[in-house]
């Protein structure tokens, strides 16, 4: 997540830098640094802020699950943690999902796919 996307997401959440720092369990200085681009947004902060955004009231109405969007075959769904944990709208939050036919090695690799996927893009 780049500094501009971090800033825009904070605004969508309706939080001040101080309030977001408290939610992320970090310092106000860290949030300021993320928004200014002086520090890159760590994976745990990106994950948390996206999760908070996904949980806003009314944000999930009418959204399709990932397995519907990706047209996953039954065998793939049965192997995927998003299906197992009924998290088809939070698939981007769960490591080990089978996106693009394979499990990604880490959060950064996963997010390369997720950032262009309809499930996550609908939040932003």
Task: Mark whether 48 and 25 lie in a shared domain.
Answer: yes
The pLDDT-based confidence of 88 (bands split at 50, 70, 90) is confident
Q: Are residues 47 and 8 in the same domain?
A: yes
Whether 11 is covered by a domain: the verdict is: yes
Q: Judge if 79 and 101 occupy the same domain.
A: yes
Residue 102 pairs with which residues in a beta bridge? 99
Q: How confident is the model at residue 99 (pLDDT cuts 50, 70, 90)?
A: confident
pLDDT digits (tens, 9 = 90+) for 15-74: 999 999 999 999 999 999 999 999 999 989 999 998 898 888 665 566 788 888 888 899
For residue 110, what are the domain limits? Answer: 66-121
Answer whether residue 120 shows pLDDT above 80. yes
Examine the pLDDT at 4 and tell me if it is beyond 70.
Answer: yes
In a domain, 70, yes or no: yes
What number is the average pLDDT over the span 107-122? 85
Query: The domain spanning residue 19 has which CATH number?
Result: 1.10.260.40
Residue 1 in this model has a pLDDT that exceeds 80: yes
Q: Does 59 map to a domain? A: no
Q: Is 50 part of any domain?
A: yes
What pLDDT does 105 receive? 82
Give the pLDDT score at 35. Answer: 96
* Shared-domain flag, residues 9 and 48: yes
- Predicted confidence at residue 57, as pLDDT, reads 62
> 96 to each of 68, 70, 79, how far by Cα in Å?
18, 16, 10
Number of structural domains the chain divides into? 2
Is residue 61 a part of any domain in this protein? no
């Amino acid at each position: 997540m780049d500094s501009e996307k971090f800033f825009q997401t904070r605004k969508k959440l309706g939080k001040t830098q101080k309030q977001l720092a408290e939610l992320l369990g970090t310092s106000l200085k860290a949030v300021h640094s993320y928004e200014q681009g002086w520090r890159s947004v760590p994976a745990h902060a990106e994950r948390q802020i996206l999760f908070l955004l996904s949980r806003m009231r009314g944000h999930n109405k009418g959204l399709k699950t990932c397995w519907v969007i990706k047209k996953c075959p039954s065998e793939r769904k049965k192997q995927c943690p998003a299906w197992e944990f009924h998290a088809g709208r939070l698939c981007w939050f769960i490591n080990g999902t089978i996106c693009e036919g394979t499990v990604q090695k880490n959060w950064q690799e996963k997010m390369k796919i997720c950032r262009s996927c309809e499930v996550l893009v609908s939040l932003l």
